[in-house]
Amino acid sequence: MLMKGFKQDIYTCNRCKCGFCREECPSYKTFGLESYSGRGRMSIAWAVLEGKLGLTNEIAKRIYACTMCGYCSARCSMNVTAVIKALREELVERGLVPPEVRDFLENTYKYGNPWKQPREKRSEWTKSTEIRLYESNHEFLYHVGNVGSYDTRGNNVAKALGKILLEGGLSFGVLGRDEDCDGNEVNMLGEKGLFQLLMKKNIQKFKKLGVKEIVTLSPHAYNAIKNEYPRHGENFEVMHYTQLLQEIIRNGKLHISKRLNARVTYHDPCFLGRYNKEYDAPREILQNIPGIELVEMDRNKENSFCCGGGGGNFYTNFFGGGEDSPNRIRVREAYNTGAEILAVACPTCMIMLDDAVKVEGLEEKLTIRDISEIVSEVV
Amino acid sequence: MAGKLANWNSEKIFATLKNIVGPENVSCSEVDLIPYGRDWSLVSASTIYMPDVVVRPKTTTEIAEVVRLANKERIPVVPWGGGTGLSGGALAVKGGIIIDMKGLDRIIEIDEENLTITTQTGITVQKLNEALKKHQLWWPHDPESKFASTVGAAIACDNAGTFGTKYGGSLVDYLLGIEVVLPTGDVVKFGSQAPHSVSGYPLHWLFIGSEGTLGIITEATLRVYRLPQYRCVDIIVFDSFKSAINAGLKIIEAGLDPESIHIMAKEGFIYYTKLYEVMFNKVFKPPEKMEAAMAISFAGLKDVAEFQRSVAFKIFLETGGMVVEERELVDIFWTEKHTLSYDAGKNPWPLSQTRYKYTGIDLCVPIGKVPALYKKYKVLLKKYNFKPATGCFMYSKRLKFAPNCIFTINVNDEDSEEVERAKKFIHELAKYSIECGGTISSSRGVGIAATQSLMPVEHTHLALESMKKLKHMLDPNNIMNPGKKLTD
């Protein structure tokens, strides 16, 4: 059993049960019962190891209603998210995943994206732009990802970043129809086999094309390529786009020429922040824009609160959209800072929070903007 | 519906509970019940106390309806706050309904002028203080469990923090009024916002330390304070517990007003010196003869706090104390103790909880008897073959210097024989506390702890009978947290 590798973590949690992981857990906030918190899931893992509980669909519901945001692991010396992932891997092996997860995995396997979209559509958004396909003499591969490629709002973010990179005179290209899912969500959902397949496919492709440096639109892809791909012996220089923008603003390649008079708050994406400890680059970019007043939400950086879209939930939507769903809680928190713009650095966060702003009736008061969109308007 | 509730009219009860709190806030699924089956109390690694059903109400009215139903059907009811208890107070040892109080987490009023807060009791101590901080206020009650433990549990267990020396550590010093759902389902308010009253019996205080056996506390009005402008903290090492206590007493006698006095055994202090090594790559060598360290803080206006500090330093010189000069070490202690982000666990040392259950007992004896109790602890460690974990630490639970002493051990909870041995160790140390004129629990509650059988030793037969009569009057069907504190 995969979880046996985490026996010490699981038993440690169950002899202590301090519960420090619980209070800001997004799924606990939504569902309210202990079984939907980090500590509760560690109890479930303990009961499974103790033979008190068999793996069932009931367990799967609790285990998959987790955004893998990493808050619990940040609050604890035990690797709670790794235990949850191991539980998911166990559930996948036994065919006990919820139908929404099954569909996501099947579609990603068959179509390279979760929405059954044809490959040809992947690069449609580039048609009206000067963004070109990657060639071996390019400095960077611009990895767009599923959301940036297929979702209309994601397209806008992808275009905005493309415009900035062109403006900065950078040499880069996209893979277009040849781009595949990076596999971060597949990995987080516990489908090890499919993740290996996607990763190997991507690694082979990158090597064949002579890719050395990658810039990603999504922190999810950044996380997979930075932390998972090297485990298979392949190291690509990978940056999240905010890190690249920070660099080209610092070295003067990108000149910010306009003002933006606005009070802005920034939401840390989990896979950029907690998973990869990048808290400064997005803030530095915003602070470099004249006229922006950056204010922080109560929960920021390592204590940031997930938008609810991580760990596959952007696709599976186990949280529904009720008043206590994470994205709605988060936009209310942003609104309470008095900000007019909630800046994000992740297309998934952008869509999750943009949806929430509409449901909360705050469209007139709070706008969700990706940092790439903000920067593209001031260069 | 499985378990003991199957003996009752389970289907009907479950349907009624769904009606009261909404179907999404009630579950009898094993997956949802298991996380409510354990807390931090001393039980073997495989032990679990399964409730039959868990409900998560959001209002006092819903709680009252649930309790009324339980009383009618004679079903045990167990309130659950943070689930961080060290004596099993929130475990459903007789099955029944767990009422998860976390749904009642709303602050009702922060009264800046009158320095009070009225709040629902499912809010965590940490969240309460985050809200107060925005008004430059704080509730100095500061248990280490504050990130998870609730205001309701703070009252029901009367647990402790380190600021008792100045503000009082017991809830008696903070609690002005409460709203309670009695075991019959009646909702009653006791006390008020008045800082003091003798017009009736102070029944709000009856619920302090009641461990969920008399009713469910749903709202509380608490005394709060302005945040201090300035704080200075020091650590002083002593060759014995006795000299550390003596220094503490002399500080009070001198008219100083320390905010906190925390005395810890060498084993506990070493925890922080090891952290210091890990974080700053520097070594602090405690004196060979050292037995205890005192952390002391003064707070208020800078001049006043610093003046008091300078007088305290003279007293430490007279009482054989050595002031720790390494400021980073002092900061590590304070950060760990009071913001308790549990970062210590992220460091490779100590590994105690990854292999052992960190447990122990909370005792209070007259101040002069603390050294004797500490000596007994050392003797019993050898007798029962236990390592001292973080040793003994003590701080004041009431104004000035009322010792709340925690004695710790590490127990291999995967070895049931060792767990039983640990219970005997705790039992014997607690018995000695009674012999010293002390008590078997000073901050964690009795619950189902190994000390429960000592209740008739600490309290006379008539005293216990009086308590049982009082309990019976409020809870005629013994539904509220049965099996805890007082035995049935």
Domain ranges of chain A: 2-97, 100-247, 256-378
> Which pairing describes strands A262-266 and A341-344: parallel, antiparallel, or unpaired?
parallel
Question: Measuring CA to CA, how many Å separate A255 from each of A289, B261, B355?
Answer: 10, 57, 56
Which of A187-201, B71-85, B94-108, B401-415 is the least confident region? B401-415
Residue B366, domain member (yes or no): yes
Q: Quote the percentage of chain B above a pLDDT of 70.
A: 95
Report which DSSP code applies to B357.
E
> Which pairing describes strands B107-111 and B137-138: parallel, antiparallel, or unpaired?
unpaired
Q: Which among B25, B84, B357 has the least Cβ separation from residue A19?
A: B84
Q: Binning pLDDT at 50, 70 and 90, where does residue B351 land?
A: low
Angle at A279 between CA A172 and CA A28, to 5 degrees: 115
Nearest CA in chain B to A57: B31
Two tokens, residue B348: 């490779």
Helix (H, G, I), strand (E, B) or coil at B476: coil
CA gap A177, A184 in Å, rounded: 19
Two tokens, residue A31: 């569902």
Strands (E), B141-186: 175-181
DSSP string, A271-329: TTTTTT---HHHHHHHHTSTTEEEE--SS-GGG----S-GGGHHHH-TTTT-TTSHHHH
Average pLDDT of B320-346? 80
Strand order in the sheet with A172-173: A172-173, A140-143, A213-216, A237-240
Average pLDDT of A303-324? 93
Chain B nearest C-alpha distance from A323 (Å): 14
pLDDT in tens, B108-159: 999 999 999 999 999 999 999 999 999 999 999 988 889 999 999 999 999 8
pLDDT in tens, A141-186: 999 999 999 999 999 999 999 999 999 999 999 999 999 999 999 9
Q: What is the pLDDT of residue B348?
A: 46
Sign of the torsion angle spanned by Cα atoms B83, B403, B448, B14: negative
pLDDT in tens, A116-145: 999 999 999 999 899 999 999 999 999 999
Alpha carbon B304 to chain centroid distance? 31
DSSP string, A143-165: E-HHHHHHSHHHHHHHHHHHHHH
Contact between B32 and A35 using a beta-carbon 8 Å cutoff: yes
- Please check the confidence at residue B245 and state whether its pLDDT lies above 70: yes
Chain B nearest C-alpha distance from A312 (Å): 22
Domain co-membership, B276 together with B363: no
Two tokens, residue B371: 């050294």
Residue B461, domain member (yes or no): no
HEC-encoded secondary structure of A194-236: HHHHHHHHHHHHHHHHCCCEEEECCHHHHHHHHHHHHHHCCCC
Q: Is B82 part of the contact surface with chain A (CB cutoff 8 Å)?
A: yes
Give the CATH number, domain containing residue B187.
3.30.465.10
Chain A nearest C-alpha distance from B362 (Å): 17
Helix (H, G, I), strand (E, B) or coil at B277: helix
Question: Average pLDDT over chain A, rounded to whole?
Answer: 95
Q: Is B310 part of the contact surface with chain A (CB cutoff 8 Å)?
A: no
Average pLDDT of A298-326? 94
Q: What is the pLDDT of residue A245?
A: 98
> Looking at B226, B261, B285, which one is the last position of a domain?
B226
Q: What is the pLDDT of residue B337?
A: 82
- Please check the confidence at residue B2 and state whether its pLDDT lies above 70: no
Beta bridge partners of B138: B225
CA gap A3, B467 in Å, rounded: 48
Two tokens, residue A59: 């367990």
Question: Which residues in chain B are contacts of A78 at CB distance < 8 A?
Answer: 345
Q: Which among A8, A34, A56 has the least Cβ separation from residue B35?
A: A34
CA gap B393, A149 in Å, rounded: 59
- Chain B residues 112-141 within an 8 A CB cutoff of chain A: 124, 126-127, 130
Domain co-membership, B49 together with B145: no
Q: Which among A22, A44, A77 has the least Cβ separation from residue B345?
A: A77
CA gap B340, B145 in Å, rounded: 9
Q: Is B25 part of the contact surface with chain A (CB cutoff 8 Å)?
A: yes
Contact between B341 and A52 using a beta-carbon 8 Å cutoff: no
Of the options 3.30.420, 1.10.3470, 3.40.47, 3.40.50, the CATH number for the domain spanning A256-378: 3.40.50
CA gap B164, B394 in Å, rounded: 11
- Please check the confidence at residue A325 and state whether its pLDDT lies above 50: yes
CA gap B31, A52 in Å, rounded: 10
Domain co-membership, B116 together with B221: yes
Residue A5: name the closest of A68, A83, A90 by CA.
A83
Q: Binning pLDDT at 50, 70 and 90, where does residue B340 land?
A: low
Question: Which residues in chain B are contacts of A22 at CB distance < 8 A?
Answer: 148
Selected for mutation to probe chain B from A17, A21, A33, A303 (highest B CB count within 10 Å) is A33
Q: Which among A23, A32, A43 has the least Cβ separation from residue B147?
A: A23
- Please check the confidence at residue B345 and state whether its pLDDT lies above 60: no
CA gap A202, A183 in Å, rounded: 9
Angle between helices A371-378 and A241-250 (to 10 degrees): 30
Q: Which among B46, B148, B345 has the least Cβ separation from residue A19?
A: B148
Q: What is the pLDDT of residue B388?
A: 87
Nearest CA in chain B to A59: B31
Chain B nearest C-alpha distance from A230 (Å): 25
Residue B390: name the closest of B423, B437, B352, B435 by CA.
B352
Q: What is the pLDDT of residue B1?
A: 43
Question: Which residues in chain B are contacts of A60 at CB distance < 8 A?
Answer: none
Domain co-membership, B89 together with B139: no
DSSP string, B302-315: HHHHHHHHHHHHHH
**Under 8 Å CB-to-CB from B259, ≥6 apart: which residues?**
B163, B165, B166, B167, B228, B231, B297, B298, B299
Average pLDDT of A270-284? 98
Q: Is B51 part of the contact surface with chain A (CB cutoff 8 Å)?
A: no
Beta bridge partners of B358: B410
Question: Which residues in chain B are contacts of A33 at CB distance < 8 A?
Answer: 27, 32, 35, 54, 56, 100
Which of A299-308, B376-385, B397-406 is the least confident region? B397-406
- Please check the confidence at residue B46 and state whether its pLDDT lies above 70: yes
HEC-encoded secondary structure of A80-143: HHHHHHHHHHHHHHCCCCCHHHHHHHHHHHHHCCCCCCCHHHHHHHHCCCCCCECCCCCCEEEE
Contact between A18 and B40 using a beta-carbon 8 Å cutoff: yes
Nearest CA in chain B to A56: B31
Does residue B106 contact residue B120 with C-beta atoms inside 8 Å?
yes
Give the CATH number, domain containing residue B289.
3.30.70.3450
Could you give the residue ranges of the DSSP H alpha helices within B97-240?
125-133, 151-157, 164-167, 203-206
Q: Is B358 part of the contact surface with chain A (CB cutoff 8 Å)?
A: yes
**Helix H or strand E segment including B382:** helix B370-384
pLDDT in tens, B429-461: 999 999 999 999 999 999 999 899 999 999 999
Two tokens, residue B33: 């019940």
Sign of the torsion angle spanned by Cα atoms B300, B306, B307, B311: positive
Question: Average pLDDT over chain B, rounded to whole?
Answer: 92
Residue B477, domain member (yes or no): no
Domain A100-247 has CATH 3.40.50.1860: yes
Contact between B34 and A22 using a beta-carbon 8 Å cutoff: no
Question: Which residues in chain A are contacts of B46 at CB distance < 8 A?
Answer: 50
Question: Which residues in chain A are contacts of B91 at CB distance < 8 A?
Answer: none
Residue B358, domain member (yes or no): yes
Residue B111, domain member (yes or no): yes
Contact between A76 and B345 using a beta-carbon 8 Å cutoff: yes
Sign of the torsion angle spanned by Cα atoms B356, B358, B361, B366: positive
Contact between B38 and A16 using a beta-carbon 8 Å cutoff: no
- Please check the confidence at residue B371 and state whether its pLDDT lies above 70: yes
Strands (E), B22-143: 26-27, 53-55, 77-80, 97-100, 107-111, 116-120, 137-138
Q: Binning pLDDT at 50, 70 and 90, where does residue B335 land?
A: confident
Half-sphere exposure of B433 (CA within 13 A, CB side): 29
Contact between B100 and A34 using a beta-carbon 8 Å cutoff: yes
CA gap A55, A89 in Å, rounded: 12
pLDDT in tens, B272-297: 898 888 888 999 988 889 999 999 99
Selected for mutation to probe chain B from A6, A20, A61 (highest B CB count within 10 Å) is A20
Q: Which among A8, A11, A32 has the least Cβ separation from residue B102?
A: A32
Nearest CA in chain A to B80: A34
Coarse DSSP helix, strand, coil percentages of chain B, rounded to the nearest 5 percent: 40, 20, 40
Q: Binning pLDDT at 50, 70 and 90, where does residue B6 land?
A: low
Residue B177, domain member (yes or no): yes
Contact between B148 and A56 using a beta-carbon 8 Å cutoff: no
Average pLDDT of B7-24? 89
CA gap B24, A207 in Å, rounded: 51
Chain A nearest C-alpha distance from B39 (Å): 6
* Distance between start and end Cα atoms, chain B: 26
Q: Is B147 part of the contact surface with chain A (CB cutoff 8 Å)?
A: yes
Residue A303: name the closest of B470, B127, B141, B71 by CA.
B127
Beta bridge partners of A293: A263
- Please check the confidence at residue B101 and state whether its pLDDT lies above 50: yes
Give the CATH number, domain containing residue B24.
3.30.43.10
Question: Which residues in chain B are contacts of A20 at CB distance < 8 A?
Answer: 147-148, 342
> Looking at B195, B226, B257, which one is the last position of a domain?
B226
Contact between B34 and A47 using a beta-carbon 8 Å cutoff: yes
- Which amino acid is present at A8? Q
Q: Quote the percentage of chain A above a pLDDT of 90.
A: 92
Chain A nearest C-alpha distance from B43 (Å): 9
Q: Binning pLDDT at 50, 70 and 90, where does residue A198 land?
A: very high
Give the CATH number, domain containing residue B407.
3.30.70.2740
> Which pairing describes strands B260-265 and B292-300: parallel, antiparallel, or unpaired?
antiparallel
Average pLDDT of B318-331? 96
pLDDT in tens, B171-227: 999 999 999 999 999 999 999 999 889 999 999 999 999 999 999 999 999 999 999
Residue B474, domain member (yes or no): no
Domain count, chain B: 4
pLDDT in tens, B410-430: 999 999 999 999 999 999 999
- Please check the confidence at residue A190 and state whether its pLDDT lies above 50: yes
Domain co-membership, B235 together with B341: yes
Rounded to 5 degrees, φ, ψ at B462 are -70, -35
Interface A:B, Cβ pairs < 8 A: 104
Q: What is the pLDDT of residue B5?
A: 57
Question: Measuring CA to CA, how many Å separate B32 from each of A59, A204, A241, B2, B23?
Answer: 9, 44, 41, 13, 14
> Looking at B346, B372, B404, which one is the last position of a domain?
B346
Average pLDDT of A256-261? 96
Interface of A with B (CB under 8 A): 8, 11-12, 14-20, 22-23, 31-35, 37, 39-40, 43-44, 47, 50, 52-53, 56, 58-59, 62, 75-78, 298
Domain enclosing residue B295, as ranges? 230-346
Contact between A35 and B127 using a beta-carbon 8 Å cutoff: no
As a residue count, chain A comes to: 379
